[in-house]
Amino acid sequence: MTKKNYTMTGGPEGPPIFGMIAAAKNDPLGFSMENALRYGDIIPFQMIGRKLIQVNHPELVRYVLMENHKNYNKSKAYIRFESAIGKGLFTSNGEKWRQDRQKIQPMFKREQIEGYYFTVINEVSEKFKQRWLTLTEKGRTELDITFEMSMMTVEIVLKIIFGKDNLDEKTVASLHYSYSVLIEYLKITRMLPKVDLGKVFCTPRYLQFKKELANVDAIIGKLRAEYQEGELQDKYNMLALLTEAQKQDPQHFSDQDIRDHAATMVFAGFETTSILMQWMWYILDTRPDVEDKLRSEIITHAPCAATQDSSALTYDAINKMDYLLAATKETMRLYPPIWISSREAIEEDNFGDFKVDPGTIIVLPQIALHRHPKWWDAPNAFIPERFLPENEAKIDTGIYFPFSHGSRKCSGYKLAEMEAKIIFTKLLPLFKVKALNSIANSPDPGVTLKLKKSLLAEITRI
């Protein structure tokens, strides 16, 4: 890269061999954010004999993720996910990733998002709105918001991937439980991704993981076979599109590829959007001014949202809600569901005058760059106006990347943003959500960044 004098004031040091693994394991958020505030643009440290560099400058983020991305594979930390989702876009590298990306990208084209996917999200979120109306028919009620958002978004992602008419409620609940088990198990392999001690010692948690993985494979396999035999007619869900892609290129798109991509897409959408919803309710509880602005914008562009039946909601109405999208993006700035990423250098490189050896792990902590006072005014304040159309162009792409950047940017980011907007359009105009346990309920940085305890709330009709 172009020679540049990036600031370096050293990095954290730990005991020989183990390095900073204890600090990173005990308080991963604090470790990443303290590094960003205490040291310079390039922060070297070691962990179990491996060289790592935390980057703390937008130019370096863009360089690793965009300008020289071919020299930076996803790191070995992603190996732990292969046991659950195989070699899909989330875990693969090189030529396989490039070929698969080309086949899968059409599934996220505008026509799909505005058509089939919008219909699924509209129908499922309307169903849950009606549930809330029933629960509040006689007055206020208490709900586990984390669970509600999880059940809603899981049903959405499963029906987008497997077909809106192909899954009954029992199968949706079964997949929801199975993926919950898989994600919880993967958390414990976070620090040593290549060593699965549960598998080595055949622990009860591993046996449960194996059982639920078999359940996921059985459901995907059954639906895949039905599509291949022409028994299912829905042609616009992702599994149907994957099956069609296989017909076009059977040599390079196997049954295992279909399984891995379907499992990956469920995994990618399983927690991320529901966590975003959780954090938005958490924030809005303390910002009635923002809540009022959002309700006003929603009702202005979609008057049906103020009624008990908003099934007539349109994509055009959702697309006009700039302040709602801005609030969604500002929530992801403060609480990015994927809060940290990493890459591994393939060949020797240089960050300005700093040499990067092959095999070095580049740590890209979204949470630290999203809140760094060097790059943001009032970095810890919730200010949706930052992301209004007239202001967003001023934001450096290297300091805001909740969906990553470049060729490996999440293919479904537009879908996720639309999903969040539709859910809030359905619920916010009709209900007041008052958090009951937000105090001392801290972030839990596992595979994703969520609250340590489920967010409980009192729901009342407006």
Q: In this structure, are 439 and 343 located in the same domain?
A: no
Q: In this structure, are 56 and 137 located in the same domain?
A: no
What whole-number distance in Å separates Cα of residue 311 and Cα of residue 170? 24
Q: In this structure, are 242 and 373 located in the same domain?
A: no
Domain for residue 427, yes or no? yes
Angle at 82 between CA 172 and CA 169, to 5 degrees: 0
Supply the pLDDT for residue 198. Answer: 83
What whole-number distance in Å separates Cα of residue 148 and Cα of residue 133? 14
Q: CA dist 366 to 9, 267, 342, 360, 446, Å?
A: 21, 20, 10, 19, 14
The answer to whether residues 9 and 40 touch, using CB atoms and an 8 Å cutoff, is yes
Q: In this structure, are 330 and 368 located in the same domain?
A: no
CA 23 to chain centre: 25
Indicate the residue among 381, 415, 434 that finishes a domain: 381
For residue 2, name the pLDDT band (cuts at 50, 70, 90).
low
- Output the six-digit token pair for 258: 């279909």
Per-residue pLDDT reduced to its tens digit, 201-259: 899 999 999 999 999 999 999 999 999 999 998 999 999 999 998 888 888 788 999 99
The answer to whether residues 460 and 143 touch, using CB atoms and an 8 Å cutoff, is no
Residue 36: phi, psi to the nearest 5? Answer: -65, -40
Q: In this structure, are 131 and 58 located in the same domain?
A: no
Supply the pLDDT for residue 192. Answer: 55
Q: In this structure, are 49 and 111 located in the same domain?
A: no
**415 pLDDT above the threshold of 70:** yes
**189 pLDDT above the threshold of 80:** no
Domain for residue 449, yes or no? yes
Weakest mean pLDDT among 104-118, 184-198, 245-259:
184-198
What whole-number distance in Å separates Cα of residue 34 and Cα of residue 365? 11
What whole-number distance in Å separates Cα of residue 226 and Cα of residue 305? 38
Per-residue pLDDT reduced to its tens digit, 313-360: 999 999 999 999 999 999 999 999 999 999 999 999 999 999 999 999
Q: In this structure, are 114 and 64 located in the same domain?
A: no
Single pTM value for the model: 0.94
Per-residue pLDDT reduced to its tens digit, 77-92: 788 788 889 988 888 8
For residue 109, name the pLDDT band (cuts at 50, 70, 90).
very high
CATH number at residue 149: 1.10.630.10
CATH number at residue 62: 3.30.43.20
Give percent of the chain with pLDDT exceeding 70. Answer: 98
Domain for residue 112, yes or no? yes
19: DSSP letter: B
Q: In this structure, are 12 and 132 located in the same domain?
A: no
Domain for residue 150, yes or no? yes
Q: In this structure, are 268 and 327 located in the same domain?
A: yes
**Long-range own/partner contacts, residues 382-386 (CB < 8 A, 24 or more apart):** 382/283, 382/287, 382/290, 382/330, 382/331, 382/334, 383/330, 384/290, 384/323, 384/326, 384/327, 384/329, 384/330, 385/326, 386/326, 386/329, 386/330, 386/333
Domain for residue 391, yes or no? no
Supply the pLDDT for residue 1. Answer: 60
Domain for residue 397, yes or no? no
Per-residue pLDDT reduced to its tens digit, 380-406: 999 999 999 999 999 999 999 999 999
The answer to whether residues 404 and 416 touch, using CB atoms and an 8 Å cutoff, is no
Q: In this structure, are 103 and 152 located in the same domain?
A: yes
Count of domains forming the chain = 2
Supply the pLDDT for residue 191. Answer: 52
Question: Which residues span the domain enclosing 349?
Answer: 1-79+339-381
**190 pLDDT above the threshold of 70:** no
More confident residue, 43 or 17: 43
Per-residue pLDDT reduced to its tens digit, 143-165: 999 999 999 999 999 999 999 99
Supply the pLDDT for residue 193. Answer: 58
Q: In this structure, are 319 and 370 located in the same domain?
A: no
What whole-number distance in Å separates Cα of residue 265 and Cα of residue 157? 8
Per-chain mean pLDDT for the chain: 93
Supply the pLDDT for residue 327. Answer: 98
Domain for residue 386, yes or no? no
Q: What is the mean pLDDT of residues 94-113?
A: 90
